[in-house]
Structure 1
Amino acid sequence: MTRAWGSGCAALLLALCAPLATAQVNALPSLPHLLVKGDATRDVVPDRFTVSITLSALDMQPEVARERVQANLGALLTVLKSGGAIAESIDASTFSVQPEHDYESQRRVYRGIRATRVLRVTFPNAEDTRAFLAKLPAGEDVQLGGIEPTFSGEAALRGELKAEAMRRTRETAALLATSYGARLGSLYSVSDVAPSFAYGIQAGQWPSTRGGTPPPPAASPAAVFERVQVTGSRITPESLAVGTVTIAEHLYAIFLLAD
């Protein structure tokens, strides 16, 4: 009994200490130090495009609604087989079935059962994406949910950007120390999360290290393509315009000052 209790106390002590240890990771040292930020950004042209399509059908009989959705899904999969899509990216969600109601003269009216599936597929370039959209049988039962552009080399690029941001933190710290007649000491901590401090500045207000003005916010994925609405037969794949996506990495480093 005593051993079990002692083991439990040790586990409880570790659990209580864990939040404190986590909080201390981003704490500032009590010794003289420099806190600097390094950032690195790249504007890249997306080379992959994920299309989201909602397939739905409404009917009084659930099985009829399901069959209509499945028929539309089968037709789209047939188009995708010769449409240049990345085969392993094709993904269809499970069925969502729920009752649907409307209001007439302030009365709740039952309309039937709505069956829904969401199809997601990725294309390797904008041309194949446009070609698929041109064949999309747009209507009430087939709705384009959105187009999400991505960059296939993002993981490798982020590694390069982190290395560049790290180099900039050291360069900035060395410049500041020299400017004030101090000597740069060892690295205390580095993180991609801004430390907790009372300097009166928030993480999002840090100026860019490349010119004194903050970098423009990263373009949202939806902004890379012009917004497309698919209602009835209105679809204009030729209006899609490819832009750029900004990928950024930010590091916050604390360097101690040597005596």
Structure 2
Amino acid sequence: MTTRLRILTIAAILAAAPALAPAQTAPHIAVSGHAERIVQPDRFHIDIDIEAIDAKPARARTRVEEHMTAVVAAFRANHALPESIDASTISISPHERTRGEDSVVDGTEVRRTASATFTRMEDLRAFIDGLDAAGNELQISGTKMTRSDAEAIDTELREEAMHDSQRNAERIARAYDTKLGQVFSVSDRAEAMGGYSDMDGIVVMANKKEATPISLETGGLKMQRTIYAIFLLEPAKR
């Protein structure tokens, strides 16, 4: 909840409390306001997993480092945002396989991850087309699309949702021949990805065991915001 909404909620409760009982017993209506917008994404993010297993740790580490060097070079060659390029530190651990009912160490597993964000879908496609998968050692673990101005759009949607809740409350009050009173409380219940729906049209997933088909169709990004409000009611003057 933003500072503005917190202040609005606190002020409304303090103003209503001296004269009226809690909203559960005082005449009131609960409404919601909603706003949404379909926008075109302008940021395209990709995550890469690099993993090698070998009886000799040095060989596994060398292959992982070679893959990482190639991936970072491909990020840069395909115009990934420089500040978005990220490569994890190296992780080394025993690799186990099951033999009967026992687990047996059969080598060393070396792993690193990398990620980057592109400003054009064409650049992301070119990066993927140029990847050397090298068996299962290099895999695309996921992608997502976003907007560079998502925060500004979310602020606009929040304002629109607040106005929508006010209009809905006034419409209901008129229908029941009552007068809309003060706002008692306001709740902002954002969804888990920050008010955004599931990403449409860009799905790039693969796992270490079985690669899945890659789809890079650009679709709209749905952004939405819902505001929940409780308004106190006053009898309409006749």
TM-score (norm 1): 0.73
Larger fraction in strand: 2
Alignment partner, residue 219 of structure 2: 243
Larger fraction in helix: 1
Match of 1:148 among 144, 147, 164: 144
Within 5 A, what are the aligned runs for 1:10-89?
A: 28-89=23-84
The C-alpha deviation readout for 1:47-77, integer Å capped at 9, x for no partner, is 1111000011112233332232112111121
Secondary structure at the aligned position of 1:94 is classed as coil
Distance 1:115 1:28, change over 3 A: farther
Query: Could you tell me which amino acid in structure 2 is paired with residue 255 of structure 1?
Result: F
What percentage of aligned pairs have identical amino acids? 34
Give the RMSD, CA atoms, in angstroms.
2.8
In the alignment, structure 2 segments of 5+ residues that lack a partner are: 1-9, 15-21
Alignment partner, residue 117 of structure 1: 112
Structure 1 residue 257 and structure 2 residue 229: aligned? no
Within 5 A, what are the aligned runs for 1:139-218?
A: 139=134, 140-193=136-189
The C-alpha deviation readout for 1:210-249, integer Å capped at 9, x for no partner, is xxxxxxx96523x5224554889x8977x52111221110
Give the Cα–Cα distance (whole angstroms) in 2 for the partners of residues 218 and 81 of structure 1.
29
Within 5 A, what are the aligned runs for 1:221-232?
A: 221=199, 223-229=200-206
* Contact kept? 1:138, 1:231, Cα under 8 Å: no
Structure 1 stretches of 4+ with a deviation exceeding 6 A read 234-237
Match of 2:127 among 122, 132, 141: 132
Distance 1:93 1:227, change over 3 A: closer
Distance 1:128 1:236, change over 3 A: farther
Give the Cα–Cα distance (whole angstroms) in 2 for the partners of residues 178 and 107 of structure 1.
73
Secondary structure at the aligned position of 2:229 is classed as strand
The answer to which of 56-65 and 129-138 deviates more is 56-65
In the alignment, structure 1 segments of 5+ residues that lack a partner are: 1-20, 195-216
The C-alpha deviation readout for 1:1-33, integer Å capped at 9, x for no partner, is xxxxxxxxxxxxxxxxxxxx9xx99x8443211
Structure 1 residue 95 and structure 2 residue 90: aligned? yes
Alignment partner, residue 4 of structure 2: none
* Contact kept? 1:138, 1:235, Cα under 8 Å: no
Query: Could you tell me which amino acid in structure 1 is paired with residue 164 of structure 2?
Result: R
Give the Cα–Cα distance (whole angstroms) in 1 for the partners of residues 189 and 208 of structure 2.
43
TM-score (norm 2): 0.79
